[in-house]
Structure 1
Amino acid sequence: MLILRPETATDAPAIRALTDAAFKDAPHSGGTEAAIVDALRNAGALTVSLVAVQEGVIVGHVAFSPVTIDGRSGGWFGLGPVSVESIRQRRGIGGALIREGLRRLVAMGAEGCVVLGEPAYYSRFGFVADSRLRYPGVPPEYFQRLAFTGTGPAGTDPEGEVAYHPGFGAGA
């Protein structure tokens, strides 16, 4: 049985170990994902941080943190990192964490979420590439958004350059 719940203070070491292991051999990894999660936690910027637990062991984690669009905050969040124990990947754990995290953002009144990742994977959650939102240095099709309310920080459809929390610079 899979249990999804918010992380607790005692989960941090297990989340770090899981994240390090999950990204160890990933071709797109910079090896900084665990440091990013720690930095977000230390800055109080983990808006939603969920763990997946099976048989008393943390087997997955997802983080959502605030982003800015053209330097303005306004209810938009970034998804990631998402970590699942390697022997349990491709079994729906990551998807369950993402869906629950998105549900919680909507319940909080968030306006939307962005993700940098594989379009074929994230499109199943409703994410789409949108040329009006830009993240420098990456192919535009890999930077995607999911609007919950249809408005951005200025009260219109979101447009501009997206910046993640400074914690994403951790370990770089």
Structure 2
Amino acid sequence: MLSIRPELPADAAGIHFLTEAAFRNAPHSSHTEHHIVDALRERGELSISLVAEDAGQLVGHVALSPVSVQDDSQGWFGLGPISVLPQQQGRGVGTALMRAAIEALRKR
């Protein structure tokens, strides 16, 4: 059964692995997404970081971080990446993560 929860410190390596795996064969990718998530975490810029678990295994992750917009308005967040293990793609994991991320933003 799929569950979604906030990232824990112990999840970092698993998130790195699943993000790299999710984008490994994606033609639209620069294949740096896992490094981007690591860098955002190291700088404390992951405003929302949620993981999806299925039977205790990390199968997905979504990251949201603050962004600047041209008119200097505040409260904007960038999505990305959203990652799902290849064998779990097409099963609603990404949709569930996105819904949970939107709800987490609403609660802020």
1:5 matched to which residue of 2?
5
1:44 corresponds in structure 2 to: 44
Which one has a larger percent helix, Structure 1 or Structure 2? 2
Structure with bigger RCO (C-alpha 8 Å, 6+ apart): 2
Distance 2:14 2:98 in 1: 19
Tell me, in whole angstroms, the C-alpha distance in 1 between the residues paired with 2:46 and 2:52.
Answer: 16
Which residue in the other structure is 1:70 paired with? 70
Tell me by how many angstroms 1:72 deviates: 2.4
- What whole-Å deviation, never above 9, does each CA across 1:50-109 have from its counterpart, x for those lacking one? 00001110000000000101172500001110100101101100010011001110110x
Helix, strand or coil for the counterpart of 1:62? strand
Would you say how many aligned residue pairs link Structure 1 and Structure 2? Answer: 108
Cα separation, 2, equivalents of 1:71 and 1:53: 38
Unaligned runs of 5+ in 2: none
Alignment of 1:1-172 (within 5 A): 1-70=1-70, 72=72, 74-108=74-108
Contact 1:22 1:86 in 2 (8 A): yes
Amino acid at match of 1:21: A
RMSD of the TM alignment (CA)?
Answer: 0.9
Unmatched runs of 5 consecutive residues or more in structure 1: 109-172
- Work out the CA distance in 1 between the residues paired with 2:101 and 2:75: 14
**Matched AA of 1:101:** A
Quote the Cα distance in structure 1 between the aligned partners of 2:81 and 2:41: 13
TM-score w.r.t. the length of structure 1 is 0.61
Deviations 1:133-168 (A, max 9, x none): xxxxxxxxxxxxxxxxxxxxxxxxxxxxxxxxxxxx
Q: 1:90 to 1:45 in 2, by over 3 A?
A: same
Residue by residue, what CA displacement relative to the aligned partner does 1:16-52 show, whole Å, maximum 9, x if unpaired? 0000010000011001100000000001100000000
Structure exhibiting the larger radius of gyration computed from Cα positions = 1
